[in-house]
Copies of this chain bind each other. A is one copy, B any other.
Amino acid sequence: MPKLDESLLTGLPPFSQLNRAQIREILDQAGSRRYEEGTAIFREGHDAESFFLLLDGYLRVVRTTPGGDQIIVLHISPGQLFGIAPALQRDTYPATAIAAAESIALSWSARVWSDFTARYPGFATESYKTLGQRLGQIQETLTEMATQAVEKRVACAVLRMANQSGRKTPNGIEIAFPVTRQNVSDMTGTTLHTVSRLLSAWQRDGIVESTRKHIVVTDPHALVLLSEQ
C-alpha cells in the first residue's frame, strides 16, 4: 500500500487540533480503498468492524425493509466520517453504505476508536458533534415525511442535495453525483413515476434542468418557495 499523505486529514474537523506527528500516527493505522459506483462499503446487519472517512466521491446510506423497499437515510460527502456504529457501542451496522459515484475512503479498525477519543484532543468532541447534526437532520426528514405533501418532500430532498454537494455553474447549482429518479423517490418515499412527473413540470417552469442521472437547479429560490409554502 502506498504511503498516505498527511495533507489528506489536515483541516478536517475531527483532526483539526492535531499536529503532523499525530496525523501521521492516525494515517499509519488506516487502510484505504477505492469503490466503484454501486459498490457497498458495508452492509446493514454485518459486524461493525471498521469506521471510515470519505476522501473522495459520494455515498448513499440506505436502509432496506423486510419487504424489500429501500429508502436513503442520508448522503455522505468527502471529509465526513461514516460507519461510526462502533463509536455507539453497536456491534452491527444499522444501515448499508453504497458508493453513489466512484469513491475513496480510509478505514480504521473499530478497536482503535476508544484510543482515538482518549489520545487525540477534539476528536471525540467533533465526532459527536457531527453525530448530533446527523441526528437532527434525520429528525427533520422524519417530520417532513410525516407532515408534508409529496411535492414539498421532493423539493426538500433536491435542495438538501444541492446544499450538501452543489457546484455553482453558469446555469445554476449542479448536484455533484449521479442521481436517478428512483434515487430521489427512495429519499422521499414515493414512486419514480411521481418524481419524473414533478421534475418534468419543474423543468417546464424553468426551475430545474435534468438529464438522466443528473440534476441542475436553475432557480433555487423558486424551489425553496415550493418546499416551504
| Identical copies of this chain, number | 2
Q: Complex formed: what's the CA distance from A124 to B133 in Å? A: 18
The minimal Cβ–Cβ distance linking A196 to chain B, given in whole angstroms, is 18
Q: Which of A134-163 contact B (CB under 8 A)?
A: 134-136, 138-148
What DSSP secondary structure best describes chain A's contact surface? helix
Whether a CB of chain B sits under 8 angstroms from the CB of A167 is: no
Pick out which of these stretches binds chain B: A32-40, A82-90, A175-183. A82-90
Which of A69, A129, A147 has the most chain B CB atoms closer than 10 A to its own CB? Answer: A147
When the two chains form their complex, are residues A129 and B89 in contact, meaning their CB atoms are under 8 A apart? yes
Q: Which of chain B's residues have a CB closer than 8 A to the CB of A128?
A: 87-89, 128
Which of A87, A90, A142, A148 has the most chain B CB atoms closer than 10 A to its own CB? Answer: A142
Closest to A117 in B: B124
Q: Complex formed: what's the CA distance from A217 to B157 in Å? A: 37
Q: Which of A59-88 contact B (CB under 8 A)?
A: 63, 65-67, 69, 71, 73, 85, 87-88
Residues in chain A within 8 A of chain B (CB atoms): 63, 65-67, 69, 71, 73, 85, 87-90, 94-95, 124-125, 128-129, 131-136, 138-148, 188-189, 228
